[in-house]
Homo-oligomer: A and B are copies of this chain.
Amino acid sequence: MAREAASGKRRGRRRGDGGTRDAIAEAARRLFGGGGYDRVTLRAIAAEAGVDPALVLHYFGSKERLFLSVAGLPVPPQEVLARLAEGDRASAGLRLTRFVLDRLADPRERARITAVVRAAVSEPAAAKLMREQLTLELMLPLAEALGSEDAALRANLAGSQVVGLIMARYVVGIEPLASAPAETVAAAVAPTLQRYLAEPLD
Contacts and interface: CB of A to CB of B under 8 A. Distances in A.
Secondary structure at chain A's binding surface: helix, strand, loop or mixed? helix
Contacts of A69: none
A21 interface: no
Quickly give the copy total for this chain: 2
A168 B160 contact: yes
A38 B131 CA distance: 22
A4 to B, nearest CB: 22
Most chain-B CB neighbours within 10 Å: which of A162, A180, A191?
A191
Given A121-B117, A130-B172, A172-B131, A160 B159 contact: no
Interface string A144-183: 0000000011001101111111011101111111001000
A160 B177 contact: yes
Contact of A188 (B120, B163, B167, B202): B202
29 contacts: A36-B36, A36-B37, A36-B38, A36-B122, A36-B123, A37-B122, A38-B39, A39-B122, A117-B121, A118-B121, A121-B171, A121-B172, A131-B172, A152-B175, A153-B180, A153-B188, A157-B177, A157-B189, A160-B164, A160-B165, A160-B168, A160-B169, A160-B177, A161-B161, A161-B192, A163-B172, A164-B165, A187-B202, A191-B202
Interface of A: 35-39, 117-118, 120-123, 127, 130-131, 135, 152-153, 156-157, 159-165, 167-169, 171-177, 180, 184, 187-189, 191-192, 195-196, 201-202
Given A38-B122, A160-B177, 6 more contacts: A36-B121, A117-B121, A157-B177, A159-B168, A160-B169, A188-B201
